[in-house]
Amino acid sequence: MRIVGPLPHPKFKVVLYAQEQHWYVEIETGPMKQCFKVPKARAASQAEVQKWLDEEFSEETYRIFEAMYRNYKASADRNLENPS
């Protein structure tokens, strides 16, 4: 896997990697990260991967991040000491 570079996005840090048969897309915000493998057979270029990151996909990704953060925070509140 080799790093291709960052993809511009208004809400998230997005980094694109190239694998032999897939693009590997890391989407990050705060303490959470979502990763996706996009087949090169469906998205042949970096521009097509950028197109795949459309508004509808981004909105759902954001909703998932919100749920992940609620889960993360609830577990931390239950199980980890608060820093003084």
13 within some domain? yes
Q: Tell how strand 2-7 and strand 13-18 pair up.
A: antiparallel
Q: Domain limits at 27?
A: 2-79
47 within some domain? yes
pLDDT, tens digit only, all 84 positions of the chain: 999 999 999 999 999 999 999 999 999 999 999 999 999 999 999 999 999 999 999 999 999 999 999 999 999 999 998 765
Here the tokens at position 19 are 């694998």
Here the tokens at position 24 are 């590997």
The per-residue pLDDT for 84 is 56
84 within some domain? no
26 within some domain? yes
18 within some domain? yes
Strands ordered across the beta sheet of 13-18:
2-7, 13-18, 22-29, 32-39
Domain count, the chain: 1
28 within some domain? yes
